Structure 1
Amino acid sequence: MNKSLQGRMPGLGSNLKRNLHFFLSGLVMHPYSPSSLLWLFSPMGAQIPTGFCRVLSARRIGLTGWLLLHSFLSPLVSLAQPASAGHAIVADLSQKLEHAFDTGEHSDSIQAWLGQLQAVNASSPKGLGQAHAHRFRGILLLNDFQKDSALARFRAALPLYQQVGTAYQLHRLLLHMADAHFEIGNYSTCDSLLQQVTTYAQEENQTFLLGRIAYIKGSLASRQGNCVASVEAMEEALARFVECGNLRWQSMAQAEAGACLVDLGRFDEGIARYLASAKYYETRGEMRNVGIRYINIGTVFYDMGRYTEAIEYGYKAHLALDSSFSYGQAYVYNLLGISYNEQEVRDSAVYYFEKILALDSVDALQNDYLLAIVLSNLGEALGRMGQSSRALPYVNQGLALASELADLLTLSRLHVVKGDILLLLGEEELSLSETLAGVALAEQERFTSVLNPGYRNLATIYAAQGNYEEAYRYHMQHKLIDDSLAGVDKLRAVARLETEYETEKKENEIDRLSQEAIIQSLELSRKNTLLYSVSMGLVLVVAVFGVLYQQRQLRSKKKAIELEQRLLRAQMSPHFIFNTMVSLRNALHEKSKEETSLYLTKFSKLMRQILEHSRQEFISLQDEVETLENYCALQQFRYGDSFRYTLEVAEEIEPEEVLIPPMFAQPFIENALEHGIDHAKREGELTVRFSKEGDRTLKLHVQDNGRGIEVTKEIKAQEGTSHKSLALLITQERLANFGLAGTLALEQLYDADRRVKGTLVAMSLPYQIDL
């Protein structure tokens, strides 16, 4: 027994009857196992003579001897049975809870069962039931990432299991303690506990325990940066879980293997594992775990340079995760932060990283591993913003944490990030030293995601030093990895896997029926040819109906999206009309009759445009610009020319031929005029730009020189209007329906002295060509 697990134990005589009961019970259940005899003495801390064990071992007395001893002692079990009325209830509840935690089934009953277990324990607080209660509540806490509280529960259960538990129960507890120490970062203690459990599990051939041990070892190797060893361990764990039929842990092993495959640059294999895991959780309605898998998939897209898709999956994960799950939300914010950082939306990146540092998940959960990653990302974002001096302390703090945790992946990345920052500060030699250290570690562990920027930075440094031979060499290595990451085959493989996953969710029932029909036809074919033909006919019928059903589903989905878009536009129109009527009311009070008449004329024209557009899914860009021109003129009239506005369309766009969805720009123009621009200064500026972004999307920018996002929030709070914008919610929903979720970004603008100089809203819009 490990020294850390030894404690004060009562003498042998005081609990002989209880130990005799467990000895006899173990003998009845496992009559040929020497561990039955060890448990007569070992829970009391007594020293077991080696010779005694040899004499009583099955190898010495033989099978017949064990059978005779078993038949002689079995009748004494009832005499040694503890006199507890709740013994059967405790056994039943512990079995149910064990099954629920291992398989994920009946998870909604766990709290009720724990309550019943606690009630049974009230009369005997130091019994086996109390040990179970501590262990199972510890598992709940660990699942909620409350690691220290979980470990405290496990430690409370330890002496109770040592006194009255079975060998299996004790070693299950030791496995949970290893899990907790791993999450906390006590890797040596975790490894020591795993060795104890491994010996027992191998002797008793406990397949599930061996799978759990391999899973933790794989996680440990991953945390320490040994991705190859981690994948091997997870494959072993997966094989064990398949052998014992545990689907839940198969899913978890798939996901962990996926993470390491991604770190090794095998993106298509990694995303296949994530999708397999997500499919399992989705069928069970476990949205928290679905959200975690969405984070994983978003991270893969980030590593492949597909940042828009990464942001989309980040928002999907945010919606799937409940807001109280701050640990998961921290990883969502990290994904959004790094993706916005790569899109050069620096303020948004820093905003999300700082949101993580403000969460309880960093300090309360003592997650130094997560903190090291966040510090790395925050330092990189600040460095790219040109705030190198502010970035360096974050990076140094992250380096210290990653080194302490032996987190080689984060450590290598931080060296490269620090080298980049030092280069910006003009420290070429220090930059070279840090970058080489990071690249050497990444080459050793094959961290492709670190080597790519590392080689790029080395090429830049050597070029700055005039060493063009080395600069060219590292540039070619960077280009080789870059081409590999963006390879057409990988992109197609990931797209295919993602499409298969989405299609499988919709056609799951059809596939199941088709498979059943095929199986039946194969079975019948062995009997006679006639039944085989009939079965094949049924399969064809099912397939035809399946195709028809799929087409009907697609038509229904398209119709539903069109109806939803129409509904959202209908929601937007009354909202817009309401705000315009408010402006009209103000004009009636403040303007002359002639001015009011002019205002009403423009207003009626604008209403006709809005009502016409609300019935159309797409309108010409020319019509949209004319509507915005009319709206801005009305608002300029209302505010007494306190602001100037500009509506711009890029030269490569033909406004009469390009069709876009209506009413996307207006809510943000309204927000800028209502809350952003300070009309008292009469220096307001508003710019709306449409530019081409891709083959199927335009970029819309709405920019003002107002107070900025934070000041606007404070003013709204003081005025009691800090509610969430209806127009903003509707816009996000409309973008999601067009497959452009995550493209909406709000950025606070600064001048050279870091003073707020306005707000920029950017989003992607779909467009069509009017033929």
Structure 2
Amino acid sequence: MQKKICLLFFILNSFVSVLNAQNSKDESTLNIHEQIISKLIESSVSFRDSSENRSVEICEKAIRLAEKEQTDSLLAFAYKTQGINYYYLGENDSCMNYYNKALNKFEELGNMIQAAKILGNIGVLYKRKGEYNKALEYYLREVDIFSEIKYTAGLTSIYINLGNISVMMGNFDRAEEYFTLGYDLAVKTNNLADQVNALNNLGVIYENQDRLEDALKVYKKSLKNVLASGNISMESKLYLNIGIIYRRKKDYDQASDYLNKSFNIRKLKGNYEELLGVYNELFELSLAKKEYREAKRLVGTMQDLAESNQDYAWKSDVYAAYSKLYKLTGDYRLALESFENYRRIGDSIQKALNDEKYNDLMLKYDMDHTKQKMELMTQKAQIQSLELDKKNAWLVAMFVIMLLGVIAIVVSFRINKLKAQHKLMSLDQKVLLSQMNPHFLFNALTAVQSLVLDNESDKANLYLSELGSLVRNILEDSREENISLRKELDTLHKYIELQKLRFDYAIDFRFDIDDRIDLDELNIPPMLTQPFIENALVHANLQKVDNPEILIKLELVDDSAIAFSIQDNGIGIEEGRKQSFMKEKKSLAMQIARDRIQIYNYKSKHQMKLDVIDLKHINNGSHGTLARFTIPAQA
């Protein structure tokens, strides 16, 4: 009997050991996945300074793995990291999307410190977009959370953000107070990054107050910290700021040295906003040195970058630069025209500033120290309201019912208005597509006329036959809001074959399609890609280059979007502008395509983004134009 008991104990003990081993294995596997996700997030952050697109790709892998393994804490940090990645890429809509995902996830987890930081990041995003009152609103929400949970260290970045908003609104005294508070707190908490940020912003204040020596002192102090940290983005910014100070002090050699250091870093990064900043200061330096030919070249490059990226704030600055240049060179007519364009764009931007709302929000912040007293008064008022007699209670109830009725009417009106706007946008989309078809037919019939006049009847007959097949495709597709990618490519192939008959010189068309793309499942708006091919054929002057070619590339970005690139090896945007300087010559097809993308983005939660880049800005040895847009695919 005793042997049986011992044997039973041995079996149970072995079974428990197996279970413990299995649990240990599961925990070990989970830890490995968490380590992989953490390493991916760290790697994504490390790639920001060298390859922003690579940073996005790595973080996307971290997000997918975190979603699969349901590691909510790491998923929240991955969302936040991806939002910051898209911020540096300048893709505001994607940035906001991931910030909102991170905010929701951190709130679910009860991590209010990170939730508050996300609110601050959203405020920074609104500041970039020129919505300063909205930015201030989010900063103050961040202050409320940090004050409530007594997280003093988090107030450093908020003081700096509030200082930036005050600068934008022209209140430099208040801005200096905020930056000084932020710097002192950063020193106490040993936060090197915020120390640098606060010093840089104090330098901006001193510049505006013409305290150049003070500005130079804080910039160099900040640069010393940055060089030790290896932050090349901040390094380039400080080189730029120090170069500006030396230019204002008329030490042009030192100014040129620091500005070129900044340019060399930013050229490698390829961020157009950062490049515009350093180009603008090199332009100002050329004016100061009276090197007007170089100044004209620099402002032309600035115009190309601003227009190709549809940056209205920089377009306004470009016109201001032209006005200044033409005034110095004595061309007062062009100076006046440029100034009027600058004022026209600047007025539309200035409308974004609402001083009354700004002052109201600042008053809210200044009175924040009375918050506890106000809360106590509110509690007393609530207690008193509960003690009201029935008559007063009925009055309150009637008022609430009336208020709800008014709200219901307003909401109903708003919903009907939005439905009407959505329907109008759909009609506008169809109108634009219908405009594109006559425009295309006009070009095609002009080509047929040219062949007939040249007595090339056989070629004209073949052209008309191909045109008929293509028009049939276009008419069928134009009735649909979206068509399959295969149908779009089929129409594009026919269009290209037609264009080969039209031109006297040979053009090499190449297609590079990602094997992962399902051409039958992915849907896009019809006739979206044709205008970019037409623009390359008509405006790239391919007949002037050896071995002209157009590359059409489709690449899968994620499960619901593809990147569509059209690249030619023509003369490029800048060279084309030189050949017809200051002429307002636009491609009708390209303008219609831009309008269609704008309408699509208004209607859809998915956003298309169009970039048109002169390849010369990427590599001085290259020439041509790259048009690239991301298409949200609808299965």
TM-score bracket for the superposition, by shorter chain length: 0.3 to 0.5
Q: TM-score, length-normalised on structure 1?
A: 0.38
Q: Which one has the largest radius of gyration?
A: 1
